[in-house]
Amino acid sequence: MIPTVPASEQSETPGGGPALDFWQEVPRAYGFPLTLFALAIVPGLNVLAYSGHGGPCWLFLPLCVPYILLRGMIKIIKSPNEMSSVLLKFYAATLPCYIALAYPLSWAATTSLHYTFGGPKIPTWTFMAIMISPYPYWYFS
């Protein structure tokens, strides 16, 4: 059973609003895409997850941002009004950071996949587009 803290003992920000533990919320919100990045970057793991013939992680890549957005919307809707504004600010600040970090992580992932499997290197922008969009532009061309 997870211990709960009574509402009277919960921490608040200096302005009097509810506090959000930033370093606990980041892995909860972004753990799924960060795990997929890690599976692509680590050479031993990417053999199983991203095999050259279409490993299972290729199916999950387009679900990263929808997972983040859906999880954020559910948390914002279910939380009390004071906390929902804090969560909205959290996602407004961290989602652009995720998109900015997606490029260097995509470069590391595509480089690792290239050296693991050989053959032509997957373009970094292509991998990044899959990680930040459920429907990259080439799906419709």
**pLDDT per position as a tens digit, 87-131:** 999 999 999 999 999 999 999 999 999 998 887 888 999 899 889
Whole-prediction pTM value? 0.79
pLDDT confidence of residue 102? 95
Using CA atoms, how far residue 33 sits from 2, 4, 30, 39, 50, in Å, is: 26, 28, 6, 10, 14
**pLDDT per position as a tens digit, 1-52:** 554 544 544 555 555 567 788 999 999 999 999 999 999 999 888 888 987 6
Q: Answer whether 50's CB lies under 8 Å from 57's CB.
A: yes
